Structure 1
Amino acid sequence: MKKKKGWLSLLLAAVFLVSGCAQGNNESAPPSSGTGNEGTSSSTDSGSNDGSALTPAKLKIVLYGDESNRMKELAKTSFYDTIKKEINAEVEFQFLPWTEYGGGKTDLMLSTGEDFATYTDANYMVKSVAKGLYADLTPYADAAADLSKNVDEASFKAFQLEGKQYAIPVGNKPNSAEFYSALVRQDLLEEAGMTQVTSLGELEQFYDKVHAIHPELIGYANTDARRLLQYDYTDKNLYWQNDFIALDESVKDDQIISWFETEEFKSYANLMHGWYEKGIIPKYAATNVPQLQSDWNSGKAMFWAGTAARPFEGAATISQAVPDAKLVNYFLGSGRPKISRGTYSTAFFVSTAAKDPERYVMFFNLLQKNQELYDLFAYGIEGTDYTLDENGRLTKITTDSLIPDWLLMNKNFMRFDNTVPDEFIAEYKAWDDGAIISKGAGFNFDNTPVKNEETKLNGVFTEYLAPIGSGFSDYDTAFPKALDRLKAAGIDKYIAEYQKQFSEWYAKQQ
């Protein structure tokens, strides 16, 4: 059966964030309030636009990436005034390089007792909570009352440990089947005389034809295709917990899979080695992986791993190089439900050194409170930074990034550029239809009992397993030594501990 395709012409004018729907009716409840963490209450009616009754507060929000000039301006003017009015707080936005996320400077700020908040993933949360570095935000759930109506309840659960809320999720967007589709340059596909890609054979045919026309282009702009290729190497519906462990979502059980010790990994590695030998994955990738991303952004690659939003995320970048580029998501098979980790974009934690954790939660609430505030933080000032037509479609006047668009993306507030076809908007909104939440969603592994083993395993992964999985090394030649190293590093102990914790958690969910 052929998969329905979604598409978007990446015109230079389409420097946009996403969608013009009105505020939704998601009535997901916030996590229940607790009393385990006593703090100074500064709450007020979250529907009020007047925070003057609150004691003044100073907050520091850490974001990652480059700070634009327009962001600097708004942080001192409109953002400042609005936040002051809403929650009587002064917010300092500090930008750090992405290399400092989940470690580096972020770890240093936590360990030295700085008062700040930033975003996290579940694994970093578990490690940091074990060290006592994240504040328990459970008592402040009411301060996120508006946000909780626009963010799914399951997203809150993903950042809970033993019933306590350690991070507040932000975002509500289609997230299922991330990287399970091939994001194809449709303009190149059509130039090669093809109309669609529905199988591995057709994807490789697409490469051959385009390579004959444009030998200067690379094929796949990544070194990991285990998700999009799984229709060809397994009958299971695999979903990965981390690099070492997968779940089969087609069966309802608590069994984890040691990925590298499976026949599926062998089949996958052989497929990738074939791509590397054929040139679909360029030879330089073995020593210069970052160049793959650069080539994709500059329009020098044929396809990438797709998501619901990738046809328009980064549109401005690629369209600067190729104004007529079009991107389409294609699945290389059918019949398997899309798997989702949840609909959140990320989640904010607050450092334990924070003087007023609740005021931070009130700030997070503003990010997803209503259309007016969303427009301000995502797009800036109407008439100066963007305009809206009669249908609520967006035209950007300034292209500077403000609070990162990927972070805020919420289907209840997102606006589409007026060049985006209605067909694409409808498909994007329906992307998660029929999707199922992973049976591992909400599980957070405590690595304390196997911390040393995990460190060694990560070293084995980098040195031995990643080159095999990326296709750089032949499986039959390289895997025996890699398996020996894997065993010596303690993979059996690690898998046993993970299985023990997962089974205990899974039983409680039933």
Structure 2
Amino acid sequence: MKKLLAFVLALALVVTAFAACSGGTTTESKSETSKTEESKTEESKTEESSEPEDDGTIHPMRIVQPGTLCADFDTGMAAVNEKLKADGVNIEVSVTRIPWDAYAEKLNLMLTTGEEFELLHVMQDVKNLSSIAGMGAIISIHDLIGNYPDLYNKFTETEWLGTIYKGEEYAVPAAWRSFDNTMSYINYRSDIAKKVGYDEYPDNVDDMIDLMKKSQDQILEDTGMKAYTWFHQNQDTAHWLHRSYDTYPFYVENSLGIVLIRQDGTVDSFYESEEFKQDANTYYEMYQAGLIDPDILNRDSQKKYDDAKFGAMLASQTFDPATGVTMQENGVEGATVDWVEAFGDDIPDMIYTFVQNLNAISATSEDPESGLKFLNWLYASEENHTLFHYGIEGTHYTKTGDHRFEQIKGEDGNALYVMDTWMTGYLPYIYFSSNTPDSHLDYYNYKSDNYVISPAAGFLFDASSVQSELTNLQTEIIASIYPIKVGMVSYDDNIVAAIEKLKAAGLDTYLEEYRTQFAAYLEANPSALENAKGTTQG
């Protein structure tokens, strides 16, 4: 039965692989929601709550994440498991990493074969919580989290809001950075900008493009490499560009980009909007100018990071200030990368989510509590957090100061042992390289005093009733919209045919269902619109 269930889940995941931010929303009344939350909160915080009795059996705690494992993973993880045993936590941790270019396919295979694991990393900007919960691939932790009051209390009420699906918690947040400016920032090579005559980052699109052209020429002269501007991922939306529009603030869901949500709660079709036309025309100009990789839709995404290590990067939301340090370590003298609020800090930041990364319990696990036991242990102390993420002091890193360290690297220049904090990190415990610039710490800890909250910040769409439409839309958006979006073809010559194909794929049906669910969410949560009023929330 377990294999049969896994096979069904795998089929569901196949047809929705890397879909839009889709999933469920709570349609129960506000009073019922509040009662549920109050009950769970009190239960989780009570002194009487405790972990269930342990019979001493060692349970596997298997994590599935994207990416690849570090060279000395086995040594580091052996130390983690030794510490877990010493602390009386009867689990044994292992990690399976799935390369990005095969992530959806191989995860499906794990489910199809009935392979068991405990923790699945969830990325709200790739395939959000409700998309996965809606297929039954992860389970509610609502009835379990009360056994772990210390774990629950590590996170804020708003961070827990980001874990809710149909009124219940379905994951544990990963609070590895502030998300106040995830829609607002731009990173660029500030040393190159100054070299070509820009002491400050431009406050308009025309000058931004001019800076990119001049920076590209200068970087080519300095390094022999052609630099490009990138989406963090091809499915991302150009949120930074939206800050320059008269209609801002608004939010476009950050996966397939089907839905545009305005601050008054209006839900529009993004690809039929004037805002998308502005995006497409700007990127067409950039593509024609050679600022975008000509093979962007087929290029291995690792290329942008490999190039950036040696100085070849243009302004985008892909990198961070620490990239400048990496460039210097690779011989790019004087390289600096800074982040700024795109088009000026007088424009409010957009808070669109309360948590971006989460860890959920797999439906294939025979012992779901082993995942919560691990996370409870991980966040119980900085010592545990450091051991899991950075390994053994003296073997894998050397501590150089308060939350500063140097990682010991292998012959390939990569850290011998590291587990990415963006998947399981806790910001107060995170270490930074001793040469990490203060601007990078500001980037992680940034708290805006000029922001708006999207009314959709706590909303998760349940796509189960429009799954076939969503699958068809995904295929058609990649085929017909992406070339327009990245500037490969002109908007004017291609948008009419593209929209016709989207409508044939079920666009209007999808939008109707989205609007219905969102209206129900706003009715049950009137504070969502209240928080969105005005242009600045202090």
TM-score range with shorter-chain normalisation?
A: 0.7 to 0.9
Which residue in the other structure is 1:208 paired with?
Answer: 213
The one-letter code sitting in structure 1 at the alignment partner of 2:337 is L
Which residue in the other structure is 1:106 paired with?
Answer: 107
Indicate if the aligned counterparts of 1:345 and 1:407 stay in contact, CA closer than 8 A. Answer: no
Q: Choose between structure 1 and 2 for higher RCO, CA contacts under 8 A separated by at least 6 residues.
A: 1
* TM-score of the superposed pair, with normalisation by structure 1: 0.82
**Distance across 2 between alignment mates of 1:213 and 1:436:** 37
**1:488 and 2:489 matched:** no
**1:295 and 2:310 matched:** no
Which stretch of the first structure deviates more once superposed, 211-220 or 231-240? 211-220
Which residue in the other structure is 2:184 paired with?
Answer: 180
**Distance across 1 between alignment mates of 2:387 and 2:356:** 19
Alpha carbons of structure 1 residues 71 and 145: separation in structure 2 relative to 1, 3 Å: farther
Q: CA deviation at 1:489?
A: 1.5
Alpha carbons of structure 1 residues 130 and 264: separation in structure 2 relative to 1, 3 Å: closer
Alpha carbons of structure 1 residues 172 and 92: separation in structure 2 relative to 1, 3 Å: closer
Indicate if the aligned counterparts of 1:143 and 1:358 stay in contact, CA closer than 8 A. Answer: no
Which residue in the other structure is 1:23 paired with?
Answer: none
**Distance across 2 between alignment mates of 1:100 and 1:140:** 32
Indicate if the aligned counterparts of 1:339 and 1:435 stay in contact, CA closer than 8 A. Answer: yes
Which residue in the other structure is 2:152 paired with?
Answer: 148
Computed over aligned residues only, the root mean square deviation of the Cα atoms, in angstroms, reads: 3.0
1:499 to 493, 515, 533: 515
Which residue in the other structure is 1:221 paired with?
Answer: 230
Q: CA deviation at 1:245?
A: 0.7
Q: How many residues align?
A: 463
Indicate if the aligned counterparts of 1:183 and 1:303 stay in contact, CA closer than 8 A. Answer: yes
Indicate if the aligned counterparts of 2:398 and 2:408 stay in contact, CA closer than 8 A. Answer: yes
Indicate if the aligned counterparts of 1:119 and 1:349 stay in contact, CA closer than 8 A. Answer: yes
The one-letter code sitting in structure 1 at the alignment partner of 2:431 is R
Alpha carbons of structure 1 residues 426 and 484: separation in structure 2 relative to 1, 3 Å: closer
> Secondary structure at the residue paired with 1:94?
strand
* TM-score of the superposed pair, with normalisation by structure 2: 0.78
Alpha carbons of structure 1 residues 275 and 168: separation in structure 2 relative to 1, 3 Å: same
1:397 to 399, 404, 408: 408
* Structure 2 residue runs without a partner (length 5+): 1-35, 41-48, 410-414, 527-538
**Distance across 2 between alignment mates of 1:170 and 1:284:** 34
Which residue in the other structure is 1:130 paired with?
Answer: 134
**Distance across 2 between alignment mates of 1:390 and 1:402:** 19
**Distance across 1 between alignment mates of 2:281 and 2:271:** 13
Which residue in the other structure is 1:11 paired with?
Answer: none
Which residue in the other structure is 1:230 paired with?
Answer: 242
The one-letter code sitting in structure 2 at the alignment partner of 1:239 is Y
Alpha carbons of structure 1 residues 392 and 348: separation in structure 2 relative to 1, 3 Å: closer
The one-letter code sitting in structure 2 at the alignment partner of 1:136 is S
Alpha carbons of structure 1 residues 289 and 374: separation in structure 2 relative to 1, 3 Å: closer
Alpha carbons of structure 1 residues 118 and 282: separation in structure 2 relative to 1, 3 Å: closer
Which residue in the other structure is 1:17 paired with?
Answer: none
Q: CA deviation at 1:502?
A: 0.9
Alpha carbons of structure 1 residues 70 and 314: separation in structure 2 relative to 1, 3 Å: farther
Q: CA deviation at 1:351?
A: 2.2
Any idea what the Cα deviations from partners look like across 1:162-208, whole Å, max 9, x if unmatched?
22222222224112332533211112112223211132233223223
Indicate if the aligned counterparts of 1:387 and 1:394 stay in contact, CA closer than 8 A. Answer: yes
**Distance across 2 between alignment mates of 1:187 and 1:213:** 11
**Distance across 2 between alignment mates of 1:314 and 1:507:** 47
Q: CA deviation at 1:209?
A: 2.7
Which residue in the other structure is 1:10 paired with?
Answer: none
Any idea what the Cα deviations from partners look like across 1:91-119, whole Å, max 9, x if unmatched?
22222222444x32323333544331221
**1:268 and 2:270 matched:** no
Which residue in the other structure is 1:359 paired with?
Answer: 370
Alpha carbons of structure 1 residues 75 and 181: separation in structure 2 relative to 1, 3 Å: same
**Distance across 1 between alignment mates of 2:314 and 2:401:** 37
> Secondary structure at the residue paired with 1:304?
coil
**Distance across 1 between alignment mates of 2:156 and 2:176:** 7
**1:470 and 2:499 matched:** no
Alpha carbons of structure 1 residues 427 and 108: separation in structure 2 relative to 1, 3 Å: closer
